[in-house]
Amino acid sequence: MRVSMDIELKDIPGQLLLALNPISELKGNLVSVVHHHEKRTPRGTIPVQLVLEIDPDKLDAIISRFERSGVSVVRAGEERFLEHGAVIMIGHIIHTDIQDTIDNIDRTGFAEVVDLSLSMPSIDMPSSALLKIDAIGKPEMNDAILLLKAVADKKDILVIEPIDTELM
């Protein structure tokens, strides 16, 4: 079973490893980790999103191990992002604040950037990036792409989509 989890970590060294150990120990397969180290929850913790594949019978054991070790589980459930897509961006991606671009997608609540591959040939040359985006459905993916295009247009960044990630 594929499970999506939102957890919160204390801002001290070793917390991410502490969270990942139970998954490994219980033979889970980690699919993705989005570690929002620059963000804080109202409780002062760091939000982390995990996607893992695990035997359904072991999910409660993982959650129990998290909680015993001080890792807060905010949400756990079957994978909520069913649509996957990718775009290529070309322009001065870093100089126009890639974090802001990603945050615009992540804040929607229905889509998020799950992977970023960046190529920056030199400081004064345009860079290129492959952005992988997950969304809860096709209409939401289309909305996320439209939002990304609007943000990119303001930053004079070219967006090429859709990219077939199956070929990569």
CATH number at residue 134: 3.30.70.560
Q: With 90 as the cut, is the pLDDT of residue 164 above it?
A: no
155 in the same domain as 134: yes
Q: Which domain holds residue 134?
A: 83-167
Please give the pLDDT value at position 165. Answer: 53
51 in the same domain as 9: yes
52 in the same domain as 8: yes
Average pLDDT, the chain: 87
Look at residues 21, 56, 78 and tell me which one is the last residue of a structural domain: 78
Q: With 50 as the cut, is the pLDDT of residue 168 above it?
A: no
Question: What are the structure tokens assigned to 127, written together?
Answer: 């860079």
Look at residues 51, 78, 105 and tell me which one is the last residue of a structural domain: 78
Alpha-carbon dihedral angle through residues 36, 38, 40, 44, given to the nearest 10 degrees? 110
Q: How many domains does the chain have?
A: 2
60 in the same domain as 96: no
Taken in order 9, 11, 16, 17, is the CA torsion positive or negative? negative
Residue with the larger pLDDT of the pair 140 and 128: 128
CA dist., res. 1 & res. 57, Å (int): 10
35 in the same domain as 15: yes
Question: What are the structure tokens assigned to 36, written together?
Answer: 């929002």
Task: Please count the other Cβ atoms lying within 10 Å of the Cβ belonging to residue 148.
Answer: 23
Average pLDDT over residues 128-152: 92
Average pLDDT over residues 40-59: 86
How is residue 136 annotated by DSSP? S
62 in the same domain as 24: yes
Please give the pLDDT value at position 80. Answer: 66
